[in-house]
Amino acid sequence: MKISEMTRSDFESFWPVFKEIVSAQETYAFDPDIGFESAYNLWCLSPEKSFVIKENGVILGSYYIKANASGPSSHISNCGYMVSPQSRGKGIARKLCLHSQQVAIELGYRAMQFNSVVSSNEVAVNLWKKLGYEIIGTIPEAYQHKKLGFVDSFIMHKQLTK
């Protein structure tokens, strides 16, 4: 498996996975009707960097990294991760998160914060906890889950450097 910066061609290959995840309305607060160009801008152009993990030329997952805020809070990073449904349960999200933490440090970030981890996404919540993230806040009924209705979202944070 190799992690590298995402190209437009990579995103074109990843687009069906992106669209499936967003359309499911279980984890991401992105418009389920988002078009390709808007999604490409959101995932690849707006962030500071975006990456893919591939095995034998097949994209297994992706993440972006950006500043969580600007000015005096620009030392805290923010990331979003997606793993293809066929690649889940293989440690891909863990690999992407560990990679993103190293990239964050290299880019000068001191911490990483996830602003809206959907509480019903127990696999992600538990993985982030295992990787040292703490729930520092709960946003009541912040996410309208397609199947479960309104569920809470967590703000999760990890200090990367002092």
Instruction: Give residue 111's identity as a one-letter amino acid code.
Output: A
CA–CA separation, 29 and 117 (whole Å):
10
Query: What are the structural domain ranges in the chain?
Result: 2-113
| pLDDT per position as a tens digit, 126-140 | 999 999 999 999 999
34 vs 104: CA distance, rounded Å: 28
Give residue 27's pLDDT.
95
| Whole-number average pLDDT of the chain | 96
User: Burial of 73 by CB count in 10 Å (0-12 exposed, 13-18 middle, 19+ buried)?
Assistant: exposed
Model confidence at 162, in pLDDT bands (50, 70, 90)?
confident
How large is the average pLDDT for residues 9-27?
96
Predicted pLDDT at 35: 97
pTM: predicted TM-score of the whole model, two decimal places: 0.94
pLDDT at 85 exceeding the cut of 90: yes
Residue 153 pLDDT exceeds 90? yes
CATH architecture of 2-113: 3-Layer(aba) Sandwich (3.40)
